[in-house]
Structure 1
Amino acid sequence: MASSPIQLLRTAVPLVQTYGFSRSLLAHAYTLGSPNANDVPRQPLSDAALRALFGAGDAPERALFGEWLRVGLEDMRNDASTSTTGDRHAQLNSLLLRRLEWNTPALSHLPSAFRHWTALAAPTTTQLHIPLPTLPFRNPMPIFKHTLDVADEALVITGDSSRGPEWYARRAALATIYGIAESHQLQSSSPRDGSAQVLLSRMLEEANRARLARDDVLGFSDYLLRSIQGIARSSGAFVR
């Protein structure tokens, strides 16, 4: 039965698709589990108890969202296709598609969750010349970290052996591709709309062609970002 903060969060994550990233879900998650015959039925946690476990303000909701993101990375490791094919491009495509699918059940709750998650962080300027989505994020840095985490996980799972500038270029490319596809998904009108998945696969294919065609890292990065931006704009992923 959920008792520690991590157990409580893990119990709540599967219910996010129904109840959202709410403190009421965390309070209710405490009552779930398989009690022993002699256990007294548990009541939902009070606000005071949630503050004691996670901190004041919206810390409980932020902890739940953070745990949901971490479990999404863990879910990528369960992609069986990474052990059945030696095609690294196909593996990356499958892994990133699986991460988009992780979003699908909770899709109606995600736009507000991402906005809330980024609104509380102090605005930070960045020199990254990346075609950013037009969602109203006050501070994009948490989004950059999220997409880089997804890219890192995909590269680790596929055993990428790149080093130095090549690794950073591949990491940035994957993070950008995933970020654009996810922003498109968050603006979708239906969880059954598969256009984000199609967009992701198109951009990955373009990235693979660019990598094979260009040996220099800077040339590859510049060409890739311009190509991705063109694909994203033509798909409607950005508001022009």
Structure 2
Amino acid sequence: MAAPSSARLLKLALPLISEHGFTRVALSRSVLHLPTPHPEPLSDAAVSALFGHGNVARKTLFNAWLEGGIESMQGSTTSASVKEALHARLAYNEPVLEHLPEAFALLAAPESGLPPIDSVPALKHAARVADQACYISGDPSNRLNWYTKRAALMGIYSAAELHQLNSPKTAHSFLDTLLSTSATIDSSVEEVKLFSSYILRSWAGIVRSRDIL
């Protein structure tokens, strides 16, 4: 019988995150959920061979989970509004919420050296969510408005997600509040800059609060 692919094992590891976090343990136990389960979890050497050494494997798992989050925004319908898509993405976080601060800190920590905090993953994550929300809603924005609107949605979603880490029960209402001002934010570059600054400061705080670096 052919050995299972790393992609298949990553998919099997995703439901294990709620219990084991974004860890090598979750990856090692993925083989226990094959149609014909392995008798024991993968060895640490096997996890490294399939997914990378040390924290690289954990980042691989987190990135696979983030990809699943993009898919979750579509929901069960062929189209959705921007608001529905962003709420669906927040809901996707809920089963693993306790593990997200450490995972975000891990993603923002550089492989080595400087800078002490890598802002690129945070911005890429927010940009993908914003792009997907606009795509599935059939957003017609173009040219400058295209960039401004997506930048605004990046800020709105990221602010709601960061709020969710501290106050899960009010995250959806907080998102609604931010979206209710979107008409103003849409045309205000200064508001977009304010959101971006908030996002980066918040991610920096998450990294400093975790024993990642």
TM-score over 0.5 for the pair:
yes
Residue deviations 1:92-114 (CA, integer Å, cap 9, x gap) = 11110110010011000000111
Task: Tell me the CA shift for residue 120 of structure 1.
Answer: 2.5
CA distance in 2, matches of 1:61, 1:227: 31
Give a deviation string over 1:194-238, Cα, whole Å, max 9, x none.
x22111111111113555xxxxxxxx1236448979xx9xxxxxx
- Identity within the alignment, %: 36
Secondary structure of 1:120's match? coil
Larger RCO (CA within 8 A; separation ≥ 6):
2
Max Rg structure = 1
Check conservation: 1:92, 1:154, Cα contact below 8 A: yes
The answer on whether the counterparts of 1:206 and 1:227 sit within 8 Å (CA) in structure 2 is no
SS at match of 1:105: helix
Normalising by structure 1, what TM-score? 0.73
- Work out the CA distance in 1 between the residues paired with 2:185 and 2:31: 50
Q: Distance in 2 between matches of 1:58 and 1:68?
A: 15
Match of 1:17 in 2: 18
Partners of 1:2 and 1:30 within 8 A in 2 = no
- List gaps (5 residues or longer) in structure 2: 199-204, 206-213
Q: Return the match for 1:48 from 45, 48, 55.
A: 45
- Alpha-carbon distance in 2 for matches of 1:118, 1:2: 33
- Structure number with higher helix proportion: 2
CA distance in 2, matches of 1:154, 1:41: 39
Q: 1:196 aligns with which of 144, 167, 171?
A: 171
Other-structure match for 2:133: 154
8 Å contact from structure 1 (residues 2, 29) kept in 2: no
The RMSD of aligned alpha carbons is 2.6
Contiguous gaps of at least 5 residues in structure 1: 84-90, 125-136, 212-219, 233-238
Distance 1:20 1:2, change over 3 A: farther
Aligned match of 1:206: 181
Residues paired across the two proteins, number: 196
Distance of aligned partners of 1:179 and 1:2 in 2 relative to their CA distance in 1, 3 Å threshold: farther
User: Compared with structure 1, are the counterparts of its residues 73 and 116 closer, same or farther at alpha carbon in structure 2 (3 Å cutoff)?
Assistant: same
